[in-house]
Structure 1
Amino acid sequence: MKFWQHILSNLIDTHNVYLLTVIDNIGSSPGRKGFKMLVTEDGFIFGSIGGGLMEFSLVEEAKKLLQDGDLKIFLKKQLHQGHKENGSGMICSGEQTVVFHPLGAQHISMIKGILDCLQANNRGVFTLTPTSIIFSNEQLKGQFESKINSAQDWLYKEYIGFKNTLYIVGGGHVSLAVSDLFVTLGFHVVVVDNREYLSTLDLNRSAHQKLVVDFNLITNYISEGSESYVVIMTSNYTDDEFVLSKLIRKSFAYIGILGSTSKLKTIWRALQKKGVTASELNVVHAPIGLAIKSQTPYEIAISIAAQIIMIKNRNQ
């Protein structure tokens, strides 16, 4: 969201912007399809199209075009095979195609539409062509659609919007750190707790939604599906057990629970007495996160993020 906010603030301040978007990549390209970067004539940049010498040279090219007022839409192929024709100077052997698209005051309403979509956790389709840039409610079969027939005949479409939602059940100190980290990773973050006037929940400025609910109704607030990730970290083990009992037979991309091995054994015994099977319990990531001896809330958040990213990317 910050990327589009930076574009909007520059356009409102009457600064023209070049939007650089990777619309295709092959092999070991550092820039992947969908990578974006904004460049302004005064040198402000945000985002990335892969880094290194390639990114530096394309940013300098965009800055010069903005300073000269030579605002045009074009694409540029970069071969990461040294200094041959169209070479980026990099030697990672892949290639990528980057679209340069100038944005001005006439695009403010479109950028506002993208931000409204993101804020509401909706999705829209971002379309680039040799003559236009559009944001619409169109549907795509996948995350991207693109074709490049020539420098004058190409099309790129991409879903814009939060795809994955992280539900954090529990609003304590670890929840604060997890919220901060997952928002930067592009997740829509929802924090759910059953305690009113909770200071750490009030302090949470990252989460997109903060809900105080009766845990008896927890299933009304957590959506099933391949884009839903659930982490349970309530204030006591009885609430952990109760919430897990409500959710364990639901379908999620990921479900995990924070706690020590001894605490989890107690919860597992209680759930098995209630009829939860060993195979159902095996789906739960417990203890949550990768085993990196995490101690602080942010270390725990990083271990959880690493595990969820591994599972998310494995399933793509």
Structure 2
Amino acid sequence: MNEWLTQIAPLLGAEGPLVLVTVAQTLGSTPREAGAAMLVGATQTADTIGGGHLEWEATAIARALLRDGTRLRTVRFSLGASLGQCCGGAVWLLFERIDADSALMWRHRAAAVARGEHLARSVASSDAHSVWSLCPAGRTGTDFSRQPDGHWQFEQHIGEPPFPISIFGAGHVGEALVRVLAPLGAQIAWIDTREDVFPAELPANVRAISTDVPEQAVADAPPGTCFLVLTHSHALDFELCMAIYRRKDFAYFGLIGSDTKRARFEHRFIERGIAAERLEELTCPIGIAGIQSKSPQSIAIGVAAQLLQLRETRLLLQHASQHAASALADIHCKSTGSPR
């Protein structure tokens, strides 16, 4: 999601000074959204602002800035035939030099964002560099304002929207899921009753939990968690499902298995007092339809696609709600004459 943020420290170590290229503003159809970024070093790049001729031109400009020492610059690109692009829109790119001695600071920032914090950025044309600060999770997005005299100001909030996932089971499918979901910005709790099954090294946004009472991890999960149950034991799977059913604030509840396993579990759920209308809250089999392969990697990709669909839908609804609230506030202010 923000790959450049995790790559900036190692690339500073390998390349020396870099240029952070950020899409400050977009107009019409563009290959990437405002806030997308890439890093450009003397010989290497990381992440992308959309590829094609736009990225080639941006890379050339960034390397020229590295040579001449310029620290800040904005450039407008029209994405038409003259640039070899067919999007038809326009983008404003912000170029900023990042010094090599800031690698440790960037490691700290990347780790904080992986834990769920947000990184705020503010910079104007009159500044020498951006002011960066860590803050609690909140809104994400950018704001780029331009004045007729050429003065501009850019503000950005970098972070992943809450995407908590609890994965029960550290077998082959669980490991494949972690490998696929971790780069997508999920905050993953990976739970198993066995102590020696987790890899020695895990991404910063993955927390391994070895416990004799995995049901407690269900109770401890934050609201809106996506639960995935795929342990080595059908009996444990069932008890975890019962623990999840005791909550009513989860975003997704998936159980690995076949239609036959689902039917057997549903019969037992009803025997244990689960209302029939709640059975549809369970997703089993897991993953998007149409993928027949049973390999752990294929299952993981299908489940990741299913969770991303869910996440995108929730974000769209959230944005629609925010826009509606803002519009109502504007109407109220106009009707009462009060300031916003």
TM range (shorter): 0.7 to 0.9
2:37 matched to 1:32? no
Q: How does 1:104-119 map to 2 (within 5 A)?
A: 104-105=99-100, 107-108=102-103, 110-119=105-114
Question: Displacement of 1:140 after TM fit?
Answer: 7.6
Give the aligned partner of residue 268 of structure 2: 270
Give the aligned partner of residue 326 of structure 2: none
Q: Percent identity?
A: 22
Q: Which runs of 5+ in 1 are unaligned?
A: none
Q: Is the 8 A contact 2:120 2:155 kept in 1?
A: no
Go from structure 1 to structure 2 and tell me whether the alpha carbon gap of 1:205 and 1:148 turns closer, same or farther (over 3 Å shift).
same
Task: State the distance in 2 between where 1:247 and 1:217 align.
Answer: 10
Go from structure 1 to structure 2 and tell me whether the alpha carbon gap of 1:272 and 1:297 turns closer, same or farther (over 3 Å shift).
same
Using structure 1 for the length normalisation, give the TM-score: 0.87
Question: Displacement of 1:230 after TM fit?
Answer: 1.8
2:258 matched to 1:260? yes
Q: Is the 8 A contact 1:124 1:161 kept in 2?
A: no
Give deviations 1:3-61, integer Å, cap 9, x for gaps: 334322343467111001112223321111221100012x2100000111111111111
Go from structure 1 to structure 2 and tell me whether the alpha carbon gap of 1:93 and 1:243 turns closer, same or farther (over 3 Å shift).
same
Give deviations 1:262-282, integer Å, cap 9, x for gaps: 011111111111221233221
Q: How does 1:223-262 map to 2 (within 5 A)?
A: 223-225=222-224, 228-248=225-245, 249-262=247-260
Q: Is the 8 A contact 2:166 2:226 kept in 1?
A: yes
Query: Aligned with 2:251: secondary structure?
Result: strand
One-letter code aligned to 2:190: V
Q: How does 1:1-316 map to 2 (within 5 A)?
A: 3-12=4-13, 15-41=16-42, 43-67=43-67, 69-83=68-82, 88-105=83-100, 107-108=102-103, 110-130=105-125, 131=127, 132-138=129-135, 142-150=139-147, 151-160=150-159, 163-198=162-197, 201-202=198-199, 205-206=202-203, 208-213=206-211, 214-225=213-224, 228-248=225-245, 249-291=247-289, 292-316=291-315
Query: Aligned with 1:60: secondary structure?
Result: helix
Give deviations 1:162-212, integer Å, cap 9, x for gaps: 7322211111100111111111222222211122333xx246745721101
Go from structure 1 to structure 2 and tell me whether the alpha carbon gap of 1:263 and 1:302 turns closer, same or farther (over 3 Å shift).
same
Q: Is the 8 A contact 2:15 2:44 kept in 1?
A: no
The worse-fitting range, judged by mean Cα deviation, of 152-161 and 297-306 is 152-161
One-letter code aligned to 2:47: G
Question: Displacement of 1:103 after TM fit?
Answer: 0.8
One-letter code aligned to 1:303: G
Give the aligned partner of residue 335 of structure 2: none
Go from structure 1 to structure 2 and tell me whether the alpha carbon gap of 1:185 and 1:238 turns closer, same or farther (over 3 Å shift).
same
Q: Which runs of 5+ in 2 are unaligned?
A: 316-340
Q: Is the 8 A contact 1:32 1:96 kept in 2?
A: no
Question: Displacement of 1:261 after TM fit?
Answer: 0.8
Give deviations 1:209-255, integer Å, cap 9, x for gaps: 11012124233442222xx3221111122211211111123312222
Query: Aligned with 1:303: secondary structure?
Result: helix
Go from structure 1 to structure 2 and tell me whether the alpha carbon gap of 1:139 and 1:217 turns closer, same or farther (over 3 Å shift).
closer
Task: State the distance in 2 between where 1:209 and 1:141 align.
Answer: 22
The worse-fitting range, judged by mean Cα deviation, of 165-174 and 139-148 is 139-148
One-letter code aligned to 1:269: H
Go from structure 1 to structure 2 and tell me whether the alpha carbon gap of 1:303 and 1:281 turns closer, same or farther (over 3 Å shift).
same
One-letter code aligned to 1:33: A
One-letter code aligned to 1:104: D
Q: Is the 8 A contact 1:110 1:134 kept in 2?
A: no
- Cα RMSD (Å): 2.4
Q: Is the 8 A contact 1:170 1:191 kept in 2?
A: yes
Query: Aligned with 2:80: secondary structure?
Result: coil
The worse-fitting range, judged by mean Cα deviation, of 172-181 and 108-117 is 108-117
